[in-house]
Amino acid sequence: MTEHAITEDGWSELSRLTAARIALGRAGNSLPCRETLRFALAHAQARDAVHTPLDTAALAGQLAADGHRVIDIRSAANSRAEYLQRPDLGRRLDEASRERLLAEADKGCDLLIIVADGLSSRAPALHAAPLLRELLPRIREMGLAIGPVLIAREARVALGDEAGEALNAKMTAMLIGERPGLSSPDSLGLYLTASPRAGRSDAERNCVSNVRPDGLPYPLAAFKLAWLIAAARCQPTGVGLKDGSAADPRWAALLAGQAALAAQANSRR
């Protein structure tokens, strides 16, 4: 089918402003071939994000280069297939990991950071290290003791509860790959839980989602998470803790900075 046989949508100009699938046009009664191929590519990228193992050695190298002490742990799921079929196993540590953490329990910490593969190994591989570079200076300003960074394989969010309990952490921040969408195969989610222990529910956490350069940029995500951590020192995390970071005067300055960077990037295109 030739290009002139494609009927473009009159509002196709808006597609420049979003990664969402809008104004796709049509070829007769069907989608144009180009859009069918783009959809197939996005679907393949989403599947790869779920099934590709996290390169823990490469990630550990990045984090160690930034000065973090790293401990490698994994869930009770023995394989990726089992992890996907048995979410309950992804919420529990395997015995070796539990013993490794209990051996360090006497040290304790105010904040334990866990970087986990979740449902997108691309997300932590791409975004965990640069996000922590933005986050850690804000945490240190609060005078909080930060534990080792845990890299967790075949992990669900609740794995952080058991890990935090084992290490006597006052709070855990789980940086985990989110379920990929067809335009976001690398989205990172941040989950903050105070007084972590096995059995905590999702209603007892706060979440910052879609962390990536094309979603919530690192400086804004780090500011939000740091704001929540500061607030959680005075009240429990979860449904009772509302994100008020946007009311902080520093938020407007961060937004302006990000807008300026985006304008510069657009001008180069």
Does some domain include residue 36? no
Locate the DSSP E strands across 20-97.
70-74
Does some domain include residue 161? yes
CATH number of the domain bearing residue 167: 3.40.50.11240
Which tens digit of pLDDT belongs to each residue from 110-127? 999 999 999 999 999 999
Does some domain include residue 189? yes
Per-residue model confidence (pLDDT) at position 1: 45
Residue 253 backbone dihedrals phi, psi, to 5 degrees: -65, -40
Per-residue model confidence (pLDDT) at position 76: 98
Per-residue model confidence (pLDDT) at position 255: 87
Does some domain include residue 181? yes
Which among 119, 150, 151, 116 has a CA at the least distance from the CA of 52?
Answer: 119
Q: Which residues of the chain have pLDDT under 50?
A: 1
Give how many domains the chain has, as a whole number: 1
Does some domain include residue 42? no
Does some domain include residue 182? yes
Quote the domain boundaries for residue 171: 55-240
Give the containing element (helix H, strand E) for 206.
strand 205-211
Does some domain include residue 94? yes
| Contacts of 108 by beta carbon, 8 Å cutoff, 6+ apart | 145, 147, 167, 168, 169, 170
Does some domain include residue 126? yes
